[in-house]
Amino acid sequence: MTSTRQTLQRPQRRADSIRGFSLLEIMIALTLGLLLSIGIMTLFSGTSRTNKLQDGLARLQENGRFAVTRMEQDLRMFGAQYCSNTTGPSSPDAAVPMVPVRAPMVYATDLQLPDSNINSIDADGNPSQDAATAAYTLSPRWFVQGYACSAADCTPALPTGTIPDMGLADGQRVPASDVLTIRYQRGSGWTVPVNACSVASGTDLANGDTITVTPQTGDDPISGMSAGLALVSDCVSPAVLPIAAVSGNVLTIGAGPDATGGILAGAGGFLCKGNRTRDVRLFDFKGGFVTVSYYLAFRADQNPDARPNSSADQRLIPVLIRRENGVEQELVRGVDQLAFRYGVQDISGSTQFLTADEVNDRTDCPPPPPGLNIEPGCMWRSVRAVESHLLVNTVDEIGPLDEASRTYHFDGEEFASPTSLPSGLSTGNQMRREFVAYTTVRNRNF
C-alpha cells in the first residue's frame, strides 16, 4: 500500500520541479533589471560628461599656457637690433636724464619690409611705398604697431593687402579682437673686424665697395646671408646698407634684388671699419629682420556632425594666428577674443597702460632718437611692456552646462551665461577662461 502511494506521487513532484517563473516573478525581475540598466546608464553618462569636462578643461589650460608663452617670446624681442636699441634711465631728472632709443640710418633705396606697406619713410615721417632718394632715420616707432578692433573696424586702420579682412567665414579674421604687429632683428650676425671696409673711414661708401666679415664660433653660417640688406650695428650708430652680392664672407655694396637703386649718399666708411673697443656686427636685414603679427582667424570645423555656431550655418573655430613675413602659422585653436594693452612712458617719465587707439593719439612722447623731428604715432617707440588678454574655450562642446560654468570674465568685465560672443558666434556648450600675460620688452629697458 505504501509502495503504491509513493508511486502515484512521483509524477506530481516531477511536474513541480519543471514549473517556470510566474508572471509576478518575471515582472519583478524585469523591473530590477530596468532599474539596474538605468543606474548603469546614468553612471556611464555622468562619467562620460565628467571625462569630457576634464578633457576640455585640460585642453583649455594647455592651449592658454602655450599661447601666452609663445607670444611672450616674440614680445620680449620686439625692436631688437643688437645693442643699439636699449634706452637709458627714463627719468626727467637733471641728474638722470631721459636717454632716447637709437634708430638706424637707412642708406638703401628700398626697405621692402615684408607683410607691410613700408618700403621707405617719407619726409613727413610716414611709411611710403616709393623708393627713397635720400638717407633717413628708421624710427623704432615702426617696430611695433597695435590695432584696437571692434566688430566693424580697427583703429588705426590696418594696412591694405596684409592681414585678412574681418568676417564670419573660413579664413577671415575674427571681429572684435585686436591685432598686434612687431618687428625685430634675429640671428647672431657676424663680426666686422677693424679695417673690414675696402675704403677709408673718411670716404663715403659707394656701389662696388666691399665689407669682409669674420664669422666666430657659434655664429650663424655665413652661407645663410644673401643679397639684399645688411644692418651694421656698433652700439652707437646703426645703419642699414644695400648688398648686391655675397661671396663667402665678402659682401659687395650695391642694388640688391628688386631694388630700384644702390647705396644712398652719406654712408661714411667708418660704418664698417670696425672698432677696437666695441663689438661691431653685421646682420642679415633682409631675412633676419622679421615682421610678426598676432591676430585671430576662423577655421571651418571639419566634423560633419558639428552644430553650427554662426550665421553661415557652419561651425567656425577661432584660431590664434602668428603671421611671420606674410606666412600664417596656427598656434592654438579655441581663442575667442584677443586684446592688448600697452605700457607706455610719457615725457614726464610716468608709465600707464593704454589701448592701441589711445597710444596712437598721444603726443607727449619722450625725446626722439637723433635726427628725428617729425614722427607720427611717436608714443609707440616708448612702449615698455605689453599686457595680452586671451579668452580661451574648450574647442569642443562638452554637453549641457549650468549658468556658473558658462559665465566667464574678460578684460575686467563679467559675462554671465551669455548666448553670443562679440565676434558674432554663439557661445555653445563650452567653458571659457581668460589668460593674461604681462611682458616686459627687454630691448627698451636697461
The confidence band for 310, taking pLDDT boundaries of 50, 70 and 90, is: confident
C-alpha to C-alpha distance for 232 and 241, rounded to whole angstroms: 8
78 near 440, Cβ under 8 Å? no
Which residue has 632683428 as its cell numbers?
A: 185
Say which amino acid occupies 313.
D
145 near 360, Cβ under 8 Å? no
Sequence length of the chain is: 446
Residue 96 scores a pLDDT above 50: no
Task: Give residue limits of the domains in the chain.
Answer: 58-91+293-444
Non-local CB neighbours of 128 within 8 Å, separated by 6+ positions: 118, 119, 120, 121, 122
Which residue has 666708411 as its cell numbers?
A: 269
Whether pTM exceeds 0.75:
yes
CA-angle at 118, arms to 171 and 298, nearest 5°: 10
C-alpha to C-alpha distance for 341 and 112, rounded to whole angstroms: 29
- CB-neighbour burial class of residue 236 (10 A; exposed 0-12, middle 13-18, buried 19+): exposed
Residue 2 scores a pLDDT above 60: no
pLDDT of residue 304: 82
Query: How does pLDDT run across 256-295, given as a tens digit for each residue?
Result: 998 999 999 999 998 888 888 888 999 999 989 999 999 9
- pLDDT: which is higher, 95 or 61: 61
H/E stretch holding 274 reads none
Query: How does pLDDT run across 22-55, given as a tens digit for each residue?
Result: 777 778 878 888 887 777 776 656 566 667 677 8
